[in-house]
Structure 1
Amino acid sequence: MNKEVELLAPAGDLEKLKFACIYGADAVYIGGQIFGLRASARNFSFEDMEEGIKFAHERGKKVYVTLNIIPHNEDLNELPGYLEKLNELDVDAIILSDPGTLMYVKEYAPNLEIHLSTQANNTNYMSAKFWYKQGVKRIVLARELSFEEIREIRKNTPKDLQLEGFIHGAMCISYSGRCLLSNYMANRDSNRGECAHPCRWNYYLVEEQRPGEYIPVIEDEKGTYFFNSKDLCMINHIPELINSGIYSFKIEGRMKSIYYVANTVRVYRKAIDEYLKSPESFKFNSEWIEELSKVSHRKFTTGFYLNKPTEDDQLYTTSSYIRKYDFIGIVLEYDEKTGIAIVEQRNRMFKGDDIEIIGPNYKGFSQVITKMYNDKGKEIDVAPHAQQKIKILMDKPVEKYYILRRKREEN
């Protein structure tokens, strides 16, 4: 059993990095403004990277930078200068998938630790050994592996080669994320960070000899979503994950919200810590899956870990997310004497709302908003403006970075 594991969180921007660290991640992975696979995320300027790395390192956390596009010739022109800058910033590791990129790293940033992206689709121990000999410190395993295969890879690879696996988040329909569908359908190359997610679009089936005759694969007047995967969720299988030999537990979601990052991290942090504290007496808490269901998600699957996915691991009727709760605010400050918190609004809230407050210590509480004031101290009944600073009377003490949420009315 691993006595120590790493909880690795996504951070699409500087604010998400801070929340991931505060809510219990051991490390975060981020993208610069080039060479990452999430071009539509806000991503990090060099100035943001510097601030984020300082914030993380002060708290004993690590920062990994993605360089995992599959580059074309023109992509290589900016790479040497970019690597030299990363080398100066005290980045803990870079994540890459391309052998040419690895060669550039060795030449222009030889001190940087190298992690191999899941895009390289590493599915066996001989491949892992090959990359290890090239200087790779960690393998981000292909998502198409079972626990049995992972244990075999761990058994047959050097002990100081770390293994990383995805444990939560959106699943890509293509093998290890190597998708050509977006390039073909939308002229946006998913392997260069521009995926249009056509796997989430709705489709009809057309038989070759019957052009123009559109057949719904499942009887539905809206079509069907036969490429559309459920979301990965392994909260029920923490013991198996730890005992498989995986060192780093990776959450997907650099495009997701602060609330998604914070809440997902705090739940997995709690479950992992509970197991490591006492493996013999560990019991799964059904509250953990309930908490994960309170962020935007699709129905859950265990992916390839337990068995090969079947038709039950796809969603055929909708590509929409399940949204049970609204993320409505972030605590910026709290005055213990008055019990008043300064909150930055992230969704419209009203006096009389029944809300929940969560923090990094896992346990939260519920209350009704009884008093709410604007920044001039005038009592108000509604906070309608995006990122409006308001004051709320709290029933219990809170701290900076606490999150406010409210159950959606339709639920």
Structure 2
Amino acid sequence: MRVIGLMSGTSYDAIDAAACDLRQEGEDSGTLSLTPLGMVSEPYPAALRSALEAALPPAATTLAEVCRLDTGIGQAFARLAVRADRELCGGRAELMASHGQTVYHWVTDGSVHGTLQLGEPAWIAEASGRPVVSGFRPRDVAAGGQGAPLVGLIDLMLLRGRPGVPAALNIGGIANLTAVPPTGDPVAFDTGPGNALIDAAVRELTSGRLAYDEDGALAATGRVHAPLLERLLAEPYYRLPAPRTTGKELFDAGYLRSRLAGLGPLPPRDVLATLTRLTARTVADALRPLGVTEVFASGGGVRNPTLTGMLREELGATALRTSDELGLPAATKEAYAFAVLGYLTLHGLPGNAPRCTGASGPRVLGSLTPGSRPLRLPGTAARAPYALAVRDPS
């Protein structure tokens, strides 16, 4: 089956579309093979991104604005889906799997009560003519889970059988990890801010002239401010037990302002150096107790050499690699992951890893929007895949 995965993360800077061929290797095989076909990406239109940013917590919004955003995001996803089908699949895609745009993750006292992703899938189905699987997270939440990180299942399928204790790390707006010990249960959770506070600081300190610290250049020229770092590390979230999830509902510009209060004026570069060190420190602190022996990183944070340099310092002898070494490009790993989750849903197979999300059991995730043709579901496979093998497209 040829599937396109569509993803926009918590940094809401762009939409990624990754296309792949997926095939279960034999009727009773526990291996799902993935052949990457490439990716395309487009930034949100400036007006849509500004409207999205203005509506996110802690800002107030209206149902009218939520409706407009749901439509605008759905249409943006639809345009990229059509382009991906044309450029990557020769017009032969069979399924779209859309994560949508997370706008709120409702967490109270460590429990998730709801999660909201915008981007109406009907626009994707109408524009592409293909069926669309969307709304992946709520079913896991309804089953008592955190609804994240759903990529934990894909990480398990990729990392099982590797020596030692391998881990996958995604550094988006929020950073999350999956660790796979040789015995015992896997562990997956959000470590805390990835790029979220760094990006918020850049926008605040440059009055919106810059959206992010490109290549970590500003942080590289600053010095870590120890009192600020100590104040940031006192955040109770970092001491919650796994599984735990968070979002920009906590780690936003208001959070940053409250932590800067009373410290006096600080050079912007020192603030950015401190926040970059915070991400590296909290990720390493989360990995260290798990005895991790190698880390495969992905997400936008991988493109920040200052951040990855600090992370290597914090990890010490633990090898830091990228998901490219597993066959999935670091920039598009999550889009490929949701392509796999969409495939599993269409085949009636569970898409969550209960031991990672905390759900009461495995669940088939998401909702299905038919395309332009009569909907015919494939038969359920004899068994759910246990491993993911990435094949060379050549």
Same fold by TM-score greater than 0.5? no
TM-score normalised by structure 1 residue count: 0.24
TM-score normalised by structure 2 residue count: 0.25
Please state which structure has a larger fraction of its residues in helix.
2
